A and B are shown apart, each in its own frame.
Chain A
């Protein structure tokens, strides 16, 4: 075959493809494909295990390609396994969050009928607030429930599906039928019928279907009710009303604002057709907090997200009303980034010694900042041999690293257990300001929770508790902590103390200001205030001893557990704390990117030539030149002057060999780009003038 002819054919076909609206991708061409084939074959043959090829396509060997295939595989498997566990937890939480509303809505759907609603259409008004995704979750689960009991189904209608009455009816009928019968079933349903063929929007069709299936409940859910045209909604509802005796409609309206506002938009006649109940879906923030808590404080956790990531996550969740799903996807992305790009993440899996020995892990570890910190500490404390040994012996280093990795993971688990403990304590002590687990976590991850006023306040208020409250707190805390902690002992002592003096409870703490007495004595005509202890009973004194012990135990415990995670050796392996991929990937700044590209093109175009300065020169892309000129100009720009300035840039650089028409073509290109970006528009104020419409940095 003539390869060249093919080449031409290819280019031609590709050229055409650029003007085609939609097309199915064709591989470059048979001729070229045969040229490329070896590479494809090579890939299959090089990895001995064909299984790898299908399973680990997207993980690249790291460490400049020095990572072995097994290692890559291990990394991938670890990721898959770890995330599957977390995903499972998230799903459980989401289901749990929804279950309350779901059962309410389900019973509403089952119990109401036009008869119970005075002949009106039974309507469930569901306010979702910012938690937009919850409604679709709810609806799909409702649909599953209704389908499983053969009661009926849910038809979801979005505002986009309802441009006019005809189309919306068509869509409703089709959705209802395909929900149970499938696409083919719908076609059959349309064609296999006696009598005249009915039009697609005839509700007779739906009636027919309801009769055939014996449907008892047909739930019509308008996911974004506010976006529907009110007139259309009125028509639709009045139509349903008139069919209500034949088709068992239940309407479900998803409302993002408030019921009152929604009702206000509809005409009275329409509102009077509806009767129903109002349901409220939990705000997204709750589930987000719960998800975070489940992921981070898991006692078997292996990987944690660090302070920066956590604060980014919550910033995004709060500021842009993220759904819980979106939140968990962001967490997922941070897990993905960790395993995709960090060779040390392999160690989180069950590391085989073969993998360890094959790969240059020791080199990697020696380059870690945390290793350097460790070495510095060791040198300072005088154990230089240890450092020497770690630098010289790969085997020893690996063992130390893995031991440290596990110890570090333990420390992280303890850290979060302490966070949970503080959180629970706070719930008992504090009434006004609620600190969520996430807030505490951010502080804990940055390592300053131990010294923070939150903990101090908490300790103070624990100290001031009387015995009843304290016992309560201790019971709660007991569940959080392991049995061998001093808390159990303290609790037992407290219990025995209380049993000894059953009649004098509750005991009072001396730290409670209500129990200290201010005595006023006049000595030598001077008022002397003495803040004395109220005379404490013997059992109170005993109790105070217990309290002191508890406080001591707390302080000790916190100083032990609330460490700074980034101080741990090998924290790079089990702590993901890079702000950047997450922020860039989920909150893009496209305008900034474009402005930067245009204003300082050599940020992107890494120039080999030395004259890549900030000055405008003809070496820069034309659009950049024009943009920089544009930045200097005022709100109104004379095109002719702009063109002259643009031309002068080229003229001064290439003096003799510049073709002004060619430069004009470049000018055209640049101008058209700026127009596409919406930076300039034609001004009517003056002939041949452009109006500036964006200001850099605004």
Chain B
């Protein structure tokens, strides 16, 4: 929460991005005492005292606020209670009398003492101890600031106004009713069990988060991302290497499991591609037969990968040049061919090792694919090693698939970044609702358009015109401040409407032709399509408005 609050000062001037730090350093220089994390701290100060250390601040630990932010959050809860409201107990919120608060504090102190005395494993990690320590530390300060509660209630009420002077007034008011932040702290009191935490965080009512947006932050492009990642040196490299070497030590075990007819599934955080590669090397080195052992590696994350191609490659690995030219188009046909080949081979021949990276990646995730893979796994003399990256991959397999797959699982957490597996920039853009900010952008679209026939260009021009018109209409209808930040594919033109206009302008004579043209746009990611709630197909353009206008200009002029 406090991090979010700290942004109130940041959102209007980018250099102020270091505000919290500056504040901290001055504090640190002054007394070596940490303020409460910047946001809350400033709120608690009366305006006159800003920049000086308050009695309240004189306690605490000598540490930077943001660094330890995570675990210290509860502290603010305890302070918030000092202020005036206990979120969990409504009666405390109405009666913020010092006496009652004192009682609450005493109880908290008692509790904390107990926590410190009876430490057990469960609570050791979750920060309750730290909270307890801090509450007890507050005690000394309390003596000095015994009148703090009453005062700070007033402070808190004054404070928003004080703050409003330098922040945008309208936004601040609209964003958060005063005092509400104390009620809506996302970190619940103490330590809740996971389900309680879930309900706590999902309770009804408006959710209070700051209104800052990423508009001022320039997002990374692919090039910049890769540049920066190349510059980055990993602080945990040694540890990761050691972890990998630990996994290497289980290679003989895996080989034994293979030998006994089990298939292997590796899971855990981090890319396991390198590990699999090493395992392939190891299996190859270890093989004593004259011919090289057939090993097939599959990268499940590559968009083009198909089950049939996997089976066909295995067949090639087995037969080399003797693979019949026509294997059949259906994966089952290839699989059956493969099975009959394996059956006819001498029994002492090297088994085929199939290593599949990211078996839970979208291209392979489908149930039909998994069923076929399971049948492959059940084939004798096929050794299958799968790696899975997502936390819930086991739901892909029902009991009969699990039976066929015959898996043993190993936790192979590597911490290696998913560099190849996921298109990071694309993923993040999609996550931030800036999906389809096409890689090529305006230039790319222009380039593609140049190579398209006349009527395709006309159709795109029509589409752009329509979309831009709708965007303008949208602007007039609701002059909400955030409207321009809406992703552009929010605005779109209805399929039927566009088709109608296209026929009117003799761009497409039939729906068939119209769709063919759209298909071309789809292939080049120049168009987005979604269903609106009423089931109509809405076509949009994955470009920002400026870019759209630029393209339109080029189209009309060119």
Measuring CB to CB, which residues of chain A are less than 8 angstroms from any residue of chain B? Answer: 14, 17-25, 27-28, 36, 39-40, 44, 53-54, 57-60, 130, 132-133, 158, 160-161, 163, 167, 170-171, 174-175, 178, 182-183, 224, 320-323, 325-326, 329, 332-333, 336, 340, 584-586, 588, 590-591, 593-595, 597-598, 600-601, 604-608, 614-621, 623, 628-629, 631-645, 647-649, 651-653, 659-662, 664-666, 668-669, 671-673, 675-678, 680-682, 685-690, 692, 694-698
Q: Which of B6, B198, B295 contacts A644 (CB 8 A)?
A: B6
Asked if A57 and B255 make an inter-chain contact with CB atoms under 8 angstroms apart, the answer reads yes
Contact B201 A24 (CB under 8 A): no
| Per-residue A-contact encoding for B167-181, CB less than 8 Å = 1, 0 else | 000000000000000
Q: Which of B308-316, B456-464, B493-501, B504-512 contacts A (4 or more CB under 8 A)?
A: B308-316
Q: Is B110 an interface residue (CB 8 A)?
A: no
Q: Are B229 and A665 touching (Cβ within 8 A)?
A: yes
Task: Compute how far the CA of A689 lies from the CA of B211 in the bound complex, rounded to whole angstroms.
Answer: 9
Residue from A323, A598, A634 within 8 A of B207 (CB atoms): A634
Q: In the complex, are the beta carbons of A597 and B400 less than 8 A apart?
A: no
Q: With A336-B260, A597-B415, A662-B228 as known contacts, state yes or no: A614 contacts B186, CB within 8 Å.
A: no
Specify which chain A residues have a CB less than 8 angstroms from the CB of B390 in the assembled complex. 590, 676-678
- Asked whether, in the complex, the Cβ of A661 is within 8 Å of the Cβ of B66, the reply is no
Cα separation A413 to B394 with both chains bound (whole Å): 39
Given contact pairs A178-B340, A639-B214, A695-B198, enumerate 12 new A-B contacts (beta carbons under 8 Å).
Answer: A57-B252, A132-B399, A326-B403, A585-B408, A588-B265, A594-B267, A632-B187, A634-B186, A638-B212, A640-B7, A662-B231, A664-B220
- B4 to chain A: closest CB distance in Å? 4
Distance A545 CA – B434 CA, assembled complex (angstroms): 91
Contact B431 A671 (CB under 8 A): yes
| B20 & A320 in contact (Cβ 8 Å cutoff) | no
Q: Which chain B residues lie closer than 8 Å to A665 at the CB level?
A: 220, 224-225, 228-229, 232
Residues of A within 8 A of B207 (CB): 634-636, 685
Contact with A along B289-305 (1 / 0, CB 8 A): 00010111111001011
Q: Is the CB of A661 within 8 A of B17?
A: no
Query: What is the CA–CA distance of A685 and B433 in the complex, to the nearest angstrom?
Result: 12
Closest to B253 in A: A340
Contact with A along B368-410 (1 / 0, CB 8 A): 1001100000000000000011111110000110110010111
Which of chain B's residues have a CB closer than 8 A to the CB of A636?
207, 209
Contact B256 A664 (CB under 8 A): no
When distances are taken between beta carbons in the complex, the residues of chain A under 8 Å from B316 are 24
CB <8 Å contact, A659 and B269:
no
Contact sample, A vs B, 5 pairs, CB 8 Å cutoff? A604-B243, A614-B71, A623-B269, A632-B69, A641-B209
Identify the closest chain A residue to B125 (Cβ).
A614
Contact A593 B280 (CB under 8 A): no
Q: B195 touching A698 by the CB < 8 A rule?
A: yes
Q: Which 8 pairs across A and B sit closest by C-beta, in order of nearness?
A: A634-B186, A21-B305, A697-B194, A25-B295, A58-B256, A588-B409, A605-B239, A665-B228
For residue A342, give the distance in angstroms from its CB to the closest CB of chain B. Answer: 13
Chain A CB within 8 A of B439 CB: no
Q: Which residues of B contact A170 (CB under 8 A)?
A: 330
Per a CB cutoff under 8 Å, which of B317, B336, B393, B431 touches A183?
Answer: B336
Take A615-B68, A641-B209 as given contacts and tell me if A336 and B257 are in contact as well, using a CB distance cutoff of 8 Å. yes
Q: Is B18 an interface position by the 8 A CB rule? A: yes
Q: Is the CB of B400 within 8 A of A672?
A: no
Among B1-47, those with CB < 8 Å from A are 3-4, 6-7, 10-11, 17-18, 20-21, 24
A647: which B residues are within 8 A, CB to CB?
17
Which one of A175, A593, A616 lies within 8 Å of B268 (CB-CB)?
A593
Given A19-B299, A24-B294: A638 and B198 within 8 A (CB)? no
* Residues of B close to A326: CB separation below 8 A: 402-403, 406
Contact: B70 with A628, CB < 8 Å? yes
Inter-chain contact A24/B413, CB cutoff 8 Å = no
Hey, which bits of chain B sit against chain A, CB under 8 A?
3-4, 6-7, 10-11, 17-18, 20-21, 24, 64, 66-71, 73, 125, 184, 186-187, 193-195, 197-198, 201-202, 207, 209-214, 217, 220, 224-225, 228-229, 231-232, 235-236, 238-240, 242-243, 252-253, 255-257, 259-262, 265, 267-270, 273, 277, 280-281, 284-286, 288, 292, 294-299, 302, 304-306, 309-310, 313, 316-317, 330, 332-333, 336-337, 340-341, 355, 368, 371-372, 388-394, 399-400, 402-403, 406, 408-411, 413, 415, 417-418, 420-422, 424-425, 427-428, 430-433, 482, 485-486
Which residues of chain A have C-beta atoms less than 8 A from B239's C-beta?
605-608
- Please tell me if the beta carbons of B17 and A593 are within 8 angstroms of each other in the complex: no
**In contact, B71 and A615 (Cβ under 8 angstroms):** yes
In the complex, chain A residues whose CB is within 8 Å of the CB of B198: 695, 698
Residues of B within 8 Å of A57, CB to CB, are: 252, 255, 259, 286, 288
- Assess whether B21 is in contact with A641, with CB atoms less than 8 Å apart: no
B229:A669 contact, CB within 8 angstroms: yes
A590: chain B residues at CB < 8 Å are: 267-268, 388, 390-394, 409, 411
Question: Which residue on B lies nearest to A341, using beta carbons?
Answer: B253
The smallest C-beta distance from B276 to any residue of chain A, in angstroms, reads 10
Are the C-beta atoms of A22 and B10 separated by less than 8 Å? no
How far in angstroms is the closest Cβ of chain B from A267? 25
* Contact for A601 among B393, B415, B420, B427, CB less than 8 A: B415
Known: A634-B207, A648-B66. A659 touches B231 (CB 8 A): yes
